Amino acid sequence: MGKLRLLVVLFAALCASACTTTSQVSHSGFRPPEGDYRLIVMQPDISVSLLTAGGALEFREDWTEQARANVIKALVSQQAQRGGVTKIAATREETGADATLVNDLVWLHSAVGQAIKLHKYSPARLPTKQNAFDWTLGNSAVEFGAATQFEYALFLHAEDSFSSGGRVALQMAAMIGCGFGVCVMPPGGRQAAFASLVDLKTGQVVWFNTLASGVGDIRTPDGAAKMVGSLLDRMKPGRTQKQSTKRT
């Protein structure tokens, strides 16, 4: 009975890890862009790694370039269905703005995006932002909007990792150990992403969504399309509280 219980727990844990979970939050007055809005999608920030037997992540340039190309194609397809005037900037140069300004904006968004993840989605919440979503990219975003004549900028950050043969062997050994009452399962590769929409008239981050998944492969066109769809297809109007969805 004890071994059966352990196997049931293990199976439940594996099922949970295979889920794709998204959680979005937005400014209280936010409404998804409609009509003839002008939006630019900034060069996606993509990273794909190999998870070694020891748990280290080894960055893979070839996988990353493959994934970035697929994510860009998915963004082109996804945004074409939303209306408005949209430009997909596959590189920073394609934004058409001053290189220094673009680099500053991308760096600033990366820092603000990570801060939102830390302070809005974890126990380390800032007391002043408990019931508010008022993050901003400031004058850099406003200057960028004035220079490019776009009203909104959409940013996307994604990380994906895949278990090496050694890591898979370690997991198999852990599963065998569960049958003997010693159940310590090392995690496998994971997918994590976030996207944000910035109002370029004010610099305000008006919408933000995170994704975590134990399945999917953004190195493939289908995997990239599913990730982009999960992040961007169901943009909701603003509320002061976090909105969550869970897909299996």
pLDDT digits (tens, 9 = 90+) for 78-93: 998 887 899 999 999 9
- pLDDT score, position 173: 58
Residue 83, C-beta contacts closer than 8 angstroms, at least 6 positions apart = 34, 35, 37
- pLDDT score, position 141: 96
Q: Please give the tally of structural domains in the chain.
A: 1
Structural domain contains residue 164: yes
User: Looking up tokens 């994934």, which residue turns up?
Assistant: 67
Round to whole Å and give the CA distance between 20 and 226: 10
Q: Check residue 147 and give left, alpha or beta (phi > 0: left; psi -120 to 50: alpha).
A: alpha
Structural domain contains residue 97: yes
For the segment 127-145, what is each residue's pLDDT rounded down to a tens digit? Answer: 666 667 889 999 999 999 9
pTM of the model: 0.80
The β-bridge partners of 246 are 21
Structural domain contains residue 247: no
∠ CA 244-161-42, rounded to 5°: 65
Structural domain contains residue 119: yes
Q: For the chain, give the mean pLDDT.
A: 82
Mean pLDDT of 45-60: 85
Structural domain contains residue 243: no
Dihedral sign (CA 118, 131, 137, 218):
positive
Percent of the chain surpassing pLDDT 90 = 51
pLDDT higher than 50, residue 5: no
- 3-state DSSP call for residue 161? strand
pLDDT higher than 80, residue 40: yes
Q: What range defines the domain where residue 86 resides?
A: 2-237
Structural domain contains residue 138: yes
Neighbours of 140 (CB within 10 A): 18
- pLDDT score, position 168: 61
Structural domain contains residue 242: no
